Each structure stands twice: as structure tokens, then as C-alpha cells.
Chain A
Amino acid sequence: MNFISLTYTDLAIASLLVIANALLSMALGLKLEKRFLIAATRTVVQLTLMGLVLKTLFELTSLWLTALAALVMILFAGYEASARQKQRFSGFWTYGLGTSSMMAAGLIVTTFALTTQLRPDPWFDPRYAIPLLGMILGNCMTGISLGLNSLIGNAVRERVAIEARLTLGQDIHQALGGVVRDAVRTGLIPIINSMSAAGIVSLPGMMTGQILGGVPPVEAVKYQILIMFLIAGGTAIGLICAVYSAAWRLSDTRHRLRLDRLSPIQEP
């Protein structure tokens, strides 16, 4: 592969742009200069660490270490997804719901891609497994947090209508059906949009990266299509798991709407 290797001087020159941003912020009184510098420093530190972790993982090619890295990624994704929710379940459910759904989606889809399409040797080769999982988790996380926000928000807002259906003898599946469908639909919109816009409006990041890395465009495109499909599948699996288990948690065997299982809204 032929690609232009970057030197640290190159990065230092690029960092001038961030410093310019900070100066601009000071000149305009935006008070963002500090956050700019902290965010830029985090980028450097976090990515450097990730680079080192990946380097070690790639050298060792151990199933257990790869699995551990995957687990850590899933736990962070679960935390992010629950942190993005406006109103949450109380107790363990806040965190458990998103995390377990993402674990199911990430593992199923990544394993599917590794064992049937990419087939690296060994099958869990971290050079393929970790980036794949990362991309699937990132998108799945967005879908799940949108879906759960929609489900819980609508169940609270539509409480009177949902309970009116229950009082008339409809079961909880009928009463919550519209709210559940809306939640799944909301969570699936981003992947539909990015599939529709791919190549026309945006060159997806992974494809751009591969092209910069010297991969022929046609090959990079094939990878990007594969990833898009994997993301679509992963988002759907994770979203369905999360929305249906949340709907189950919002109801009980006596077909009641259990909003009491949500924790009070936190002030931002």
C-alpha cells in the first residue's frame, strides 16, 4: 500500500488551526477557548492510547484480549446511549437496556461479517473485528438512543390516550402499538438517510480513510457498501431489542402502563 506517512511536524502545523480557533474565540468573546483546547488535547490523548492499544492487540492476536476490548467498547457505548436519554428507567434498567441490546446487535453482526464475508485468519483478527464493531456500535448507539427517547417521551405524553384504550378493554400491545412503531421508525431514519446520501452528498469516513491509505476506490467502495449494510442490520437488531424490552418494562402482566418505573426527569 502506498500512503503518505504523517510526521509529528505535520500534526503540529495542523494544530495551528485549533489554536487559531481558540484565538478567534477569545477575540469574539465566545468563552470557548478553554473547551477547544481541552477537547483537542483529549483527541490527541485518547486516539494515541487507542493507537497503542490497537498496535498491541494486532501484534498479540489473542481471542481473549480482543473480546475484552470489544466488551469495554460495548460498555462505553451503553453508557453513552443512556446518558443521551432525557427520561430514563429507574435502577439497573437505565443502563442495562441499551447495553444489552447493543451487545446483542454488535456481536451478532460483527461475527456474521467476520465469519461469512470477510473471513480473516484467525476469524477474530482484531484488525478487522475491532474497527467493524466500532462502526456498528457507533451507529447502533445513535439509533437506540433516538428510539428510546421517542418511546419513553411519547408514552409519557400520550398517557391519557394510551390509558383510554386500556380502560376500553384493549390490551397493552394495541394500546402501545403506535408508540412502539414510532420509536422504531425514528431510530431507523438516520441509517436510511446516510444510505441515501452516501456517495452523492458525503464520502463516508471509512471509504475516505481507505482511499487516503492507498486502497483503489472501487475496493474502498465495496468495503463501504458492506459496512453500510452491516450498520443497517445492526441498528435494526439493537433498536428492536431495546424498544421492545423498554415497552415490556413500561407494562406488566395486568396490561397496565407503568410510568412509575421511570425515574423523575433530571433538570439539565
Chain B
Amino acid sequence: MMSVLQFQVTGFSRLHLGPIDFALFAGETVCLSGPSGSGKTVLMRALADLDPNEGKLELCQQDREAIAAPQWRQQVCYLPADSGWWTEIVGDHFSNPETALPLLTRLQLPDDVLTWPISRLSTGEKQRLALARVLLLKPKVLLLDEPTSGLDAEATLAAEAEIKEQAKQGSAVLFVSHDTEQIARIADRTFVLANGTINDTVSEAPS
């Protein structure tokens, strides 16, 4: 049973959000739900410290101010809904392409995908490659913004299996999804973002 406090957010606010308090624990998969425009993406971006925000964020009892921003983002890793690519070749976007291969295969990507130009990728392939990119960092907290929205049923299940595997290895996962079946399949609990705040009923470690 994982009960180490991993990610603690208190008095968080940004734009129309907050104050928000919640905690995420190692090994759990939490769904962040709420209507469009309720601020799910704003919240996730700010947790990864991509936008200025107020409040105390702690990772394993360490304040975010004590951690340099790039290291913070490697450990509290955000996967945006739109994937970004900065060179022409897929492989350039992986720090260690060799170790990526088994995961890419499990995500049903072609064996030679790392040599492809970005322009050859479909939306779903981009989405799985971007997911692989963050999973390989083995972050302590994974923030996934609609990670399977462009995938077919089979690829969705493969992606879910990898997300669950990451949680089993000790990450805390917060994901946005509008797919109720998916939420039922992988979420241990759900945060509902409404009126700029979250009803985190479980503020202690799940037993």
C-alpha cells in the first residue's frame, strides 16, 4: 500500500481558479473532470509551473520554490492535449531513442517510427509518441490532458495499460477525460472541478 504523501497543493489559485487544496498519492490514478471551460487545462498547466500561479505546491514534502523549474517539470510532468515537435525527425525528440523502443511497440507504434519525419505522423501516432515521451521520464506526478482523445479503442486500451503501469511503479496520475467508460476503467477517484474549485473528499491517503 502506497501511502507516502506525494503531491500536496494548498491555497492554489490562478485566473478564475482557486483557492484549491488537494493531495495526490503515489500509485493512484485520479480523474480530473468538469465541464469544458471549467479550467482543467489551466489547472494542469499551472501545476507544472508553466504559468504564474499562487499557492503552495509540495512534492514529497519539498516546496516547489526549492526545486529548479526544469527539474520540477521533469517530476511533475504535464502532457498537453496538443503535442509539440521542434525538429523534423521523430527520434530527435527522445533523449534515449534505444530505450524507447519496447514502450513504443507496446503502444502499437511501428518499429521504425523513430526515423520518420514528423509530417508523416497521424494525430493518434503523435499523441502516443508524446505520451511515451513523458512516460520515459518516469515522473513522480503525471498530468495528462485528454491523453487518449485521438486514439481508436485498441490503442486507447494500450495507452491506459501503460498509464496504469506507471502508477503501479509509484507515480501519481491526474488525467482529464470525458469518456465515462475510461474513467470507470482506470480512475481510483475523481476530482470535479466546478466553480473554480475542487471537492477533494479524500484528503488523506487511501487505505
Contact = CB atoms under 8 A, between A and B. Distances in A.
Contact of B77 (A162, A167, A178, A253): A167
Contacts of A163: 50, 80, 84
Contacts of B82: 160
Contact of A255 (B52, B70, B78, B79): B70
B116 interface: no
Contacts of A171: 69-70
Question: What bracket does the count of chain A residues touching chain B fall in?
Answer: 20 to 34
Nearest to A171: B70
Contact of B74 (A161, A168, A256, A260): A168
Interface string A244-268: 0000000011111100100000000
Nearest to A167: B78
Interface of B: 48-52, 68-71, 73-74, 77-80, 82-86, 130, 133-134, 137
B102 to A, nearest CB: 20
Contacts of B70: 166, 169-171, 255
A167 B143 CA distance: 10
B73 A169 contact: yes
Interface of A: 158, 160-171, 178, 252-257, 260
- Interface hub of B49, B86, B133 (most chain A Cβ within 10 A): B86
Nearest to A169: B74
Contact of A165 (B71, B78, B86): B86
A255 B69 contact: yes
Given A256-B50, A256-B69, A164 B77 contact: no
Nearest to B51: A256
Given A254-B49, A256-B49, A256-B52, A164 B73 contact: no
A257 B84 CA distance: 14
Contacts of A170: 70
B137 A164 contact: no
Nearest to A253: B69
A167 B48 contact: yes
- Interface hub of A160, A166, A167, A169 (most chain B Cβ within 10 A): A167
B85 A254 contact: no
